[in-house]
Amino acid sequence: MICGYARSAFTQANKGELSKTRPDDLAGAVVKELIQKSGIQTEDIEDLILGCAFPEGEQGMNLARNVVFLSGLPVSVGGVTVNRFCASSMQAIHQAAGSIISGSGELFIAGGVESMTRVPMPGFNPMLNPSLVDMDAYIGMGHTAENLAKKYSISRLEQEEMALRSHQKAFEAQSNGKFNDEIVTVDNIHLDGCIRPETNLETMAGLKPAFDTKGVVTAGTSSPLTDGASAVIVCSEDYAKSNNLEIMAYIRGMAISGCNPEIMGIGPVVSSIKALKRAGLDLKDIDIIEMNEAFAAQSLACVKELGVDMSKLNIHGGAIALGHPLGASGARITGKAASLLQTEGKRYALSTMCVGGGQGCATVLERV
């Protein structure tokens, strides 16, 4: 179950306020604050599982172990860095839950971090396998969004409307202090930096296609390059109860799925269906849906395919507005889903996301 959630502010890569902050320091600050807030005994933590999509440079050298030290955890706590690209920190949660289920520990910190400023995509030493290049395995993310827009006949305007709603919802949530509880102040930064309250359909209509001159995907309908970190506390029911922790949500289902890399953005569809099935639920049972907005086209394709009720989707805004620091997004949307169950007084939540290379990852939560 999830018993705590925190994140840093998400700010624009290269020009944002966190661009001068090392990612290990950033994750360390978030983990430290999360633990302090929760009141858990640090000696009880089995492992710190940290997701990161490009674990090299300042994110290298088994980042998770370094964050153990930087966040002041005792040396007895382990640290493992996991990589499933965009779903890395959701994978971290899954691994924590899996360990608990298998009896390999009771208390875990699962999170993720990405400084897209300091370790830019695709890392410092990208060396692609020429035969996989020919197979399109490394297809650029923007092009996968274009492919879905074409496949599902998603117009540019539909995408822009979704992006605009995302900014509006995020700005409203920000103005109403809805992020105050989750954001940890790091280097005096406590406000998300990617939200554009001033944007409108006219501005977005003026943007040039970002990936394909004849395409429909623009910078306005894509998630921005972002710096940020997030973390959740994952523990067993016994541990939570015997330590009087506030239980945010039970993890009821987890799933991974694969798909063609050319349409990687459709990944959430099968993974969500699988996770829901494992939880014994149907999508209509779900009250809160956090689906990572890598691209509006990609999200809309999943919405269409799954039949998502838009009123349940990303109610505090999605990644187009909030930003998408790759390794940190999975724990953000899952932690967010858990906290929304509480604040909105709902029962079931789904967090789900697509992954470059053609994968989907999903988690089903229940508040009891």
Q: Which residues are catalytic?
A: 86, 324, 354
Which range of residues in 33-41, 136-144, 155-163, 196-204 is near other proteins by CB under 8 A? 136-144
Does position 210 bind other proteins by CB under 8 A?
Answer: yes
Q: 10: buried, middle or exposed (CB in 10 Å: 19+, 13-18, 0-12)?
A: buried
Q: What minimum distance in Å lies between the beta carbon of 153 and other proteins?
A: 20
Does position 69 bind other proteins by CB under 8 A?
Answer: no
Q: What minimum distance in Å lies between the beta carbon of 24 and other proteins?
A: 16
Does position 197 bind other proteins by CB under 8 A?
Answer: no
Q: What minimum distance in Å lies between the beta carbon of 162 and other proteins?
A: 22
Does position 258 bind other proteins by CB under 8 A?
Answer: no
The amino acid at 171: F
Q: How far apart are CA 346 and CA 286, in angstroms?
A: 9
Nearer to other proteins, 139 or 322 (CB): 139
Q: Which of 75, 102, 125, 198 binds other proteins (CB under 8 A)?
A: 125
Q: What minimum distance in Å lies between the beta carbon of 139 and other proteins?
A: 9
Does position 14 bind other proteins by CB under 8 A?
Answer: no
Pairing of strands 226-235, 107-115: antiparallel
Q: What minimum distance in Å lies between the beta carbon of 122 and other proteins?
A: 8
Which range of residues in 100-108, 132-140, 269-277, 317-325 is near other proteins by CB under 8 A? 132-140
Nearer to other proteins, 126 or 177 (CB): 126
Which range of residues in 121-129, 197-205, 260-268, 338-346 is near other proteins by CB under 8 A? 121-129
The sign of the CA dihedral 55, 57, 59, 61 is positive
Does position 133 bind other proteins by CB under 8 A?
Answer: yes
Omega prior to 55 cis, within 30 of 0: no
Does position 57 bind other proteins by CB under 8 A?
Answer: yes
Site for other proteins in 176-195 (CB under 8 A): none
Does position 79 bind other proteins by CB under 8 A?
Answer: no
Which range of residues in 83-91, 130-138, 148-156, 280-288 is near other proteins by CB under 8 A? 130-138
Q: How far is CA 216 from the centre of its chain?
A: 24
Nearer to other proteins, 128 or 157 (CB): 128
Does position 60 bind other proteins by CB under 8 A?
Answer: no
Q: How far is CA 11 from the centre of its chain?
A: 14
Q: Which of 19, 44, 121, 143 binds other proteins (CB under 8 A)?
A: 143
The amino acid at 86: C
Nearer to other proteins, 128 or 205 (CB): 128
Which range of residues in 8-16, 107-115, 140-148, 229-237 is near other proteins by CB under 8 A? 140-148
Residues facing residue 48 across a β-bridge: 79, 109
Does position 212 bind other proteins by CB under 8 A?
Answer: yes
Q: Which of 72, 98, 140, 197 binds other proteins (CB under 8 A)?
A: 140
Q: What minimum distance in Å lies between the beta carbon of 20 and other proteins?
A: 13
Task: Provide CB contacts within 8 A for 15, sequence distance 6+.
Answer: none
Q: What minimum distance in Å lies between the beta carbon of 128 and other proteins?
A: 5
Please report, as ranges, the residues that interact with other proteins according to CB under 8 A.
57, 122, 124-130, 133, 138, 140, 142-143, 208-213, 215
